[in-house]
Amino acid sequence: MKYGILSALIACLVTTSAWSADFRIEPLDEGPPADALQGAIGETLDNSGFRVIRGTKTTYCDLWLCKHWETRVDFEPTPEIMYPFRPGQLIGVARFARKGADFRDQDISKGVYTIRYAQQPVDGAHVGTSLTRDFLLLVRAEDDSNAAPTSEGDLNERSAVAAESSHPCLLSMQRVESKKYPAARHHEETDWWIVAVPGKAGDKKLPIAFVVSGVAVE
């Protein structure tokens, strides 16, 4: 009996240790998937990206950010809106090596997606789903051919197609807490894995962070 209890405790510790390093992110010395991108979108992206890895070596997704972002010059951050982007603005591109899940636990199919900024609507349907209104919406690369910002309605519609549902496919943006990038951290209370990556607004650094694995607490 003692040996059985000891074995269970060891297994628990090993599992906990493995879980604590479940996701990590590292630089990716590889250009964006030009053959999967439409229009001038590929021209806006950096030549190198980031790889999100689950477990010891499983690639979850690859990310490429725009070379630089245009931001609102009059922007003042608030607890609800932390980032100076305009809704519909192109943020980058993601390539999922296998099926993933968004912040609503909707499936993200294997493939390439554009990433655009959006703000959660202020209405009764979204009360309590997020403390912040900053989100990233995914659109299938084949359905996105213009690097310019898109309208809210158009973005929501095309992102819902990506999720194969009536709701956009989304990732929740979070506050950047890391001082070095790229970085990944686990928010134990919500069981979120959050990645932080470095970007640029003009010639200034602008890191962003978002939930890459985890769902809204409702």
Give a yes or no: residue 15 inside a domain: no
pLDDT in tens, 204-215: 999 999 999 999
* 1 domain residue, yes or no: no
Q: What is the pLDDT of residue 78?
A: 94
**Looking at the chain, which runs of residues are DSSP E strands?**
23-28, 49-54, 58-65, 90-96, 100-101, 107-108, 111-119, 134-140, 170-174, 183-187, 192-197, 200-201, 204-205, 208-213
> Is 50 exceeded by the pLDDT of residue 14?
no
Joined together, the tokens standing for residue 75 give 């922007």
9 in a structural domain: no
* Residue 130: predicted pLDDT: 65
Distance from C-alpha of 168 to C-alpha of 160, rounded to nearest angstrom: 4
Percent of the chain surpassing pLDDT 90: 81
Q: Please state, for a pLDDT cut of 70, what percent of the chain lies above it.
A: 86
Q: Do the domain assignments include residue 4? A: no
pLDDT class of 178 with cuts at 50, 70, 90: confident
Task: Give domain status of residue 34, yes or no.
Answer: yes
Q: Is residue 12 assigned to a domain? A: no
- Over 80: is that where the pLDDT of 21 sits? no
Q: Are 196 and 207 in contact (CB under 8 A)?
A: yes
Task: Tell me what the pLDDT averaged over the chain comes to.
Answer: 89
Assigned domain for 74 exists: yes
Distance between CA atoms of residues 179 and 95, nearest Å:
26
Q: Are 125 and 166 in contact (CB under 8 A)?
A: no
Residue 217's pLDDT band (cuts 50, 70, 90): confident
Average pLDDT value for residue range 98-123: 94
* Contact (Cβ atoms closer than 8 angstroms) between residue 117 and residue 134: yes
pLDDT at 81: 96
Cα torsion angle, 173, 130, 194, 102, sign: negative
The count of structural domains within the chain is 1
Per-residue pLDDT averaged across 154-175, rounded? 97
Q: What is the pTM assigned to this prediction?
A: 0.87
13 within domain boundaries = no
| Owning domain of residue 42 | 21-213
pLDDT confidence of residue 203: 86
